Amino acid sequence: MNFKETLSEKITQAEAVIRQYLPKEEGFAKELAQAMNYSMLAGGKRLRPIFMQETYKLFGGEGRVIEPFMAAMEMIHTHSLIHDDLPALDNDEYRRGKKTTHVVYGEAMGILSGDALLNYAYETAFLAFDIEGANAARIGRALQIIGDKTGIYGMLGGQSVDVKNEGMPMDWDLLEYIYGNKTSALIECAMMTGAVLGGASEEEIFLIESVGYRVGLAFQIQDDILDITGDAKELGKPLHSDEKNHKTTYVSLFGLEAAKEKVEELTGEAVETLKDIEGNNEFLYELIESLTTRRK
């Protein structure tokens, strides 16, 4: 199997893991479960759960303890998408070609289903304590990382600063904070959690954090690049939206060539750091490198 086939198979597997942990659509709160599942099953690359699982394997992780965490990771990511799309934030009617949650279920249910997914992520991760032979100390450490990277010191912090500075000029300091938290934090989280559960040392977890940071930053800068050089059809959205919205991006600050170089540089550093770690996962290296040439 070539890389693309392997990736596609891994996405199918991650999808199956995630589906196992979704709430049942029954009882009085049936519609809340439907709204949660609607967004969870609206497609997506399942990149974060795959990053988690592959980092877990890099450190020799085996068994099912990773599975509730993979589902939890995707729930947190989906929670952030539902709330980002709300009228008071980005006010988006469509995502990945489907109507957004609040458009289908109403704004109140959009807010509550986002809340419920964030909470359900923790409920799901807590199931790991009940898996036979699970290491409670590792689970505790993984939970601390998830809390930290999701909240005010991670994704939600980045999101709040992004919202506050919408349409305003920004310097690299501020933009780097937003990219590092709004985008990198959950990739750091996925990889660090995989590392912890796979048995990595604190020093290795620290290295993995720097890898996740670089992968996330490269991912975000690639987004900025694609907004100019991409194909509107492949992307599923019009080009040049950043310029139209007066959005400060890596490209607007440093130019297209510098942006491309930065993506290469960050990706190279990430893969090199990974290769220095004992253990081997060719697929993970290829996955990270593939993101530099992605078209959507």
Nearer to a second copy, 16 or 29 (CB): 29
Give residue for tokens 């085996």.
62
Could you give the CA distance from residue 269 to residue 245 in angstroms, rounded to a whole number?
32
Among 115, 242, 286, 289, binds a second copy (CB under 8 A): 115
Cβ–Cβ contacts within 10 Å for residue 45, how many? 13
Nearer to a second copy, 118 or 211 (CB): 118
Segment 62 to 91, residues that bind a second copy, using CB under 8 A:
79, 83, 86, 88-89
Q: Among 186, 191, 195, 202, which Cα is nearest to 149's?
A: 186
Among 21, 69, 120, 250, binds a second copy (CB under 8 A): 120
Could you give the CA distance from residue 134 to residue 265 in angstroms, rounded to a whole number?
38
Secondary structure (H, E, C), 74-111? HHHHHHHHHHHCCCCCCCCCEECCEECHHHHHCHHHHH
Residue 129 CB, nearest distance to a second copy (Å)? 4
Nearer to a second copy, 124 or 252 (CB): 124
Q: How many CA atoms lie within 13 A of 7 on its CB side?
A: 18
Among 43, 63, 140, 236, binds a second copy (CB under 8 A): 140
Backbone angles phi, psi at 24, to 5 degrees: -75, 140
Check residue 182 for interaction with a second copy (CB under 8 A): no
Nearer to a second copy, 3 or 126 (CB): 126
Q: Which two tokens stand for residue 196?
A: 């912890």
Residue 90 burial (C-beta neighbours within 10 Å; 0-12, 13-18, 19+): middle
Could you give the CA distance from residue 188 to residue 209 in angstroms, rounded to a whole number?
5
Radius of gyration for the chain, computed over Cα atoms and rounded to the nearest angstrom: 19
Which segment (40-48, 112-120, 197-205, 277-285) binds a second copy by CB under 8 A?
112-120
Segment 224 to 253, residues that bind a second copy, using CB under 8 A:
none
Q: Please say whether the beta carbons of 73 and 192 come within 8 A.
A: no
Residue 1 CB, nearest distance to a second copy (Å)? 38
Which segment (60-68, 137-145, 239-247, 255-263) binds a second copy by CB under 8 A?
137-145
Nearer to a second copy, 250 or 285 (CB): 250
Check residue 123 for interaction with a second copy (CB under 8 A): yes
Segment 10 to 39, residues that bind a second copy, using CB under 8 A:
23, 28-29, 31-33, 36
Segment 151 to 180, residues that bind a second copy, using CB under 8 A:
151-153, 156-161, 163-164, 174, 177
Which segment (109-117, 210-218, 219-227, 267-275) binds a second copy by CB under 8 A?
109-117
Among 112, 217, 225, 263, binds a second copy (CB under 8 A): 112
Q: Among 79, 82, 20, which Cα is nearest to 48's?
A: 79
Nearer to a second copy, 48 or 79 (CB): 79
Cβ–Cβ contacts within 10 Å for residue 245, how many? 9
246-255 b/e with 16+ CB inside 10 Å = b? ebbbbbbeee
User: Which residues in this chain contact a second copy in the complex, by CB under 8 A?
Assistant: 23, 28-29, 31-33, 36, 79, 83, 86, 88-89, 106-116, 118-120, 122-123, 126, 129, 136-137, 139-141, 143-144, 147-148, 150-153, 156-161, 163-164, 174, 177, 181
